Amino acid sequence: MTASEPVRPFPLRLAVLAYGWAAYAFFVKAMVYFVGFSGDIMFKKTVDSGPAGPWPTAVLVDLGLLLAFFVPHSVMARQRFKDAVFKRFPAPVERSTYVLVASATIAIIIAAWRPIPYPVWDLARSPFGSILRTISMFGWALSLAGSFSQGHRALFGLKPAWDYFRGRPQEPLRLRTSWLYARLRHPMDLGFLIGVLSAPRMSAGHLLLAALFGAYVAIGVRYEERDLEAAHGPAYVAYRKDVPWFGFTARKR
């Protein structure tokens, strides 16, 4: 909805608002479960729980589950897909649907994951285990902080849904270069990788999960940066030269 468009009927605006909040609530629950799932903590169903079947079958099932996350997550992020599918829907529906689909595929991964319990390392009972657990929690905190630095409510569909409900014009996601983004171009992705990789007990199944998410992030970031350059032009080119990809540094003045 743009500034020139009329205010939509109240039932439609209320439905969009409810849809946005429902998608966000599902996302929060899925991510909390994923933190426990990948860290083998808090919940009964984790990356290493459950009976272990033949490892070739487990690998194929787990690869299929991860692809079920990677493919729609990547396709829905492309502008061509957005223009083709969501052009007839209210603008906030696009962002909330993206959040909802990502959350649903994370839930499917958690529910259907097959453990591959062969140990890669086990430091859970050593001081290094506590250090790795702390690093993992730091990673998840970094990712969460990055989302607020980016504009948490806008990023996950709450602000667009609220603006639509209030009859306000939709605002595009702005290029953020302050707070964490003044030192690091992708704090959310880096935090996610730290959270998944820093495991006191690393099994073959956990390593498969971490390695494929790492590869996906590395590839996805390149497409994301291409889209950001197309959207923001020289401003993003200058920002990219000034701030590192996954490393902290002081910005040039």
Give me the amino acid identity at 222.
R
Model confidence band, residue 246 (pLDDT cutoffs 50, 70, 90): low
- Residue 39: Cβ within 10 Å count: 23
pLDDT band at 3 (very low <50, low <70, confident <90, very high): very low
- Across the chain, mean pLDDT equals 88
Q: How confident is the model at residue 154 (pLDDT cuts 50, 70, 90)?
A: very high
Give pLDDT, residue 158: 95
Residue 223 pLDDT grade (very low, low, confident, very high; cuts 50, 70, 90): confident
d(CA 141, CA 138): 5
Task: Write the DSSP symbol of residue 244.
Answer: -
| Sequence-distant contacts of 22-28: CB under 8 A, at least 24 apart | 22/100, 23/96, 23/97, 23/99, 23/100, 23/103, 23/156, 23/157, 24/96, 24/99, 24/156, 24/157, 24/158, 26/99, 26/100, 26/103, 26/104, 26/107, 27/99, 27/100, 27/102, 27/103, 27/156
Tell me: pLDDT of 38 over 90. yes
> Does the pLDDT at position 169 exceed 60?
yes
* 54 pLDDT more than 70: yes
Cα separation, 173 vs 200, in Å, equals 37
Do residues 161 and 92 make contact, with C-beta atoms less than 8 angstroms apart? yes
Task: Please report the pLDDT score of residue 81 as a whole number.
Answer: 75
pLDDT of residue 173 exceeding 90, the answer is no
Select the more confidently predicted residue: 70 or 8: 70
CA 33 → CA 37, 126, 227, distances in Å? 6, 26, 30
166: exposed, middle or buried (C-beta count within 10 Å: 0-12, 13-18, 19+)? exposed
d(CA 22, CA 54): 38
pLDDT of residue 1: 44
Half-sphere exposure of 143 (CA within 13 A, CB side): 16
Contact 160, 20 (CB under 8 A): yes
Residue 5 has what pLDDT?
A: 52
Q: What's the whole-model pTM score? A: 0.87
Per-residue pLDDT of 67-119, as tens digits, reads 999 988 888 877 777 777 777 788 889 889 999 999 999 999 999 999 999 99
